A = this chain, B = another copy of it.
Amino acid sequence: MQVKVFITPRKGILDPQGRAVEQALKTLGFNQIADVRVGRYIVLEVAGASAAGVREAAKKMCEQLLANPLIEDYRFEVGAE
């Protein structure tokens, strides 16, 4: 089963990358940009029968390794694909 994890800098936490990308996009003429956050996107193939089981494992993986809860928020989707 495929798990997609979306990790973003936590609200209120400095996101220097996002700022730099926002600036660069504006330089390129995309003036309609109001805000940019840059995070990570992790795609996992998980062998597992039940979606519920995979969901539970995914949550644990996020908490234990994939995201840094001090400075990042995460969410994930469990799909078939």
Contact = CB atoms under 8 A, between A and B. Distances in A.
A8 interface: yes
Contacts of A51: none
B42 A39 contact: yes
Give the size category of A's interface with B. Answer: 20 to 34
**Number of copies of this protein chain within its complex:** 2
B36 A39 contact: no
A72 to B, nearest CB: 11
Contacts of A28: 61, 64-65
B43 A41 contact: no
Given A30-B57, A34-B46, 7 more contacts: A8-B43, A21-B42, A21-B65, A25-B61, A25-B65, A36-B44, A39-B41
